[in-house]
Amino acid sequence: MRLLPILAASCLVSSMSMRILDPVVPDISRGLGVDTASVAMLASFFAFPYALAQPVLGALGDSFGKARIIKIALLIVALCLAASAAAPTFDMLAAARLIGGAAAGGIIPLAFAIVGDAFPMNERQIALSRVLTAIIAGNLAGLIGAGFVAAEFGWRISTMTAAGLALAALVVTVWQLKPPAPSKPVQRMRGEFFDGYREVFANPRSVVCFFAVFVEGIVIFGLFPYVAVLLEQRGAGGLKEAGIVLSGFAVGGFIYTFLVRFMLGRLGLYNLIMSGGMVSGLGLAMLSFGTSWPAEMALFVIVGVGFYMIHNSLQTQATELAPRYRASGVAAHSFFVFLGQAFGPLLYGFGLASAGTLWTMLLAGAVMGLLGVVTAWGLKSRSGAPVPGVTDPA
């Protein structure tokens, strides 16, 4: 089906734009004369507006068309990446990331909502995993690609390359994206702009889903901007190595997408979520050892597999929280993911400075393990009937 590859192209660009600066924090610090702690906050500058824009973008997608909002968002993301590459000061770079973050919020959540419109629940997690493959590829391009290109030519060239890819995705999306209409179209008055959110939060599963992804955002993605800094501090590598280490997370995501059908069939939804928390928690805890960069890449593979076991399951649930207002449901989900990502670097910065790498990473691992158990229990206890389209042998 042509729909999934076209959505994948836009999602790849959005994902790439999120992670494009994570492995090059030390290079930006040296180039703009700003301390690394401040540069690491660029991840929060992107994630905060991404999160805060979600309530508006989700409602706009439901009211004016999801495909239209995706195309506008792609244009703004491409312009902001170009502006980031050319920014002469840290303040201008931060401003470009703020605007780009808000715009990027109009791509992945609405793409998932379009998938929700096009596929029944019993096929949806597999369809979403196909788009997820592109998102992971975008993460990989942003992480390892930026690290390699920046090591040779500087962070500005790597960011400008990303702007060119965003422009190419925009052309393809404007030309080809014609999403199917929902099977039961809903007529809405303009006064109903935020009605979808009332319906989303009326679903008892929404609290569990949104709490879980908020914590995920803090514990998993809050670490990313510090990987290059920690490697350099102990003489274990530089920009290239940081990009390779972080790419392990994307590799773990690819492994998950290949195994998702098998995992769902053998484990069911709730055991998949519980196992994901334990797997990712184990990987994070083992990062406390501060080993070589190849070993850390392998640990990030483990973290990536476990993370997507939980996260893709929750993404699928978000598409069904309010089927009449699917974009609003997925946008609310994304709001909490990126709100967590925005707070993550702040909390990791405090933890690493005050408690050190060992205790910070052990705590992160324990939190993810507990999160898997609590999330599975919470979803199951709020389910009056089996989840549509999901067989759970537990």
Find, among 315, 320, 73, 67, the residue nearest to 181 by Cα.
67
- Residue 291 domain-assigned (yes or no): yes
Domain of residue 323, CATH code: 1.20.1250.20
The per-residue pLDDT string of the chain (394 residues; one tens digit each, 9 = 90 and over) reads 477 788 888 888 888 888 788 778 888 888 888 887 788 788 778 878 887 887 787 778 777 788 888 899 999 999 999 999 999 999 999 999 999 988 988 888 888 888 877 777 777 777 777 777 777 777 677 666 776 777 778 888 888 888 888 898 888 888 877 755 544 444 454 445 567 788 888 899 999 999 999 999 999 988 888 887 888 877 777 767 777 888 888 889 889 888 888 988 888 888 999 999 999 999 999 988 877 888 889 999 999 999 989 988 888 888 888 887 877 788 888 889 878 887 888 898 888 888 888 898 999 999 999 999 999 999 888 875 444 444 443 3
Helix (H) or strand (E) holding 380: helix 356-381
| pLDDT of 333 | 86
Task: Return the structure tokens found at 7.
Answer: 């959505």
Query: 47 Cβ partners below 8 Å, 6+ apart?
Result: 18, 101, 217, 221, 338, 339, 341, 342, 344
Neighbour tally for 211: CB within 10 Å: 16
What residues make up the domain containing 58? 3-176+195-381
Q: How many domains does the chain have?
A: 1
Cα distance between residue 108 and residue 309, in whole Å: 18
pLDDT at 384: 56
108 lies in a domain?
yes
Q: Mind giving me the DSSP string for 38-104?
A: HHHTHHHHHHHHHHHHHHHHHHHHHHH-HHHHHHHHHHHHHHHHHHHHH-SSHHHHHHHHHHHHHHH
Residue 39 in domain:
yes
Structure tokens at 346: 């702040």
Find where tokens 């199951």 sit. 380
CA distance 271 to 379: 11
Report how far residue 311's alpha carbon sits from residue 257's, in angstroms, rounded to the nearest whole number. Answer: 12
**What single DSSP character describes residue 236?**
S
Question: Residues 69, 57: contact at Cβ < 8 Å?
Answer: yes
Q: What is the 3-state secondary structure (H, E, C) of 244-312?
A: HHHHHHHHHHHHHHHHHHHHHHHHHHHHHHHHHHHHHHHHHHHHHHCCCHHHHHHHHHHHHHHHHHHHH
- Does residue 8 sit in helix, strand or coil? helix
In a domain, 387, yes or no: no
Alpha-carbon distance of 21 to 17, in angstroms, equals 8
Looking at residue 123, its pLDDT comes to: 75
- Note whether residue 284 is domain-resident: yes
Query: Does residue 25 lie within any of the structural domains?
Result: yes
What is the pLDDT at residue 192? 55
Reported pTM? 0.70
Q: Alpha-carbon distance 328 to 389, whole Å? A: 22
Q: Give the model's pLDDT for residue 193.
A: 57
In a domain, 268, yes or no: yes
Q: Is 392 among the domain residues? A: no
Residue 243 Cα to chain centre, angstroms? 17
**CA–CA separation, 341 and 338 (whole Å):** 5
C-alpha to C-alpha distance for 62 and 243, rounded to whole angstroms: 37
Q: How many CA atoms lie within 13 A of 238 on its CB side?
A: 7
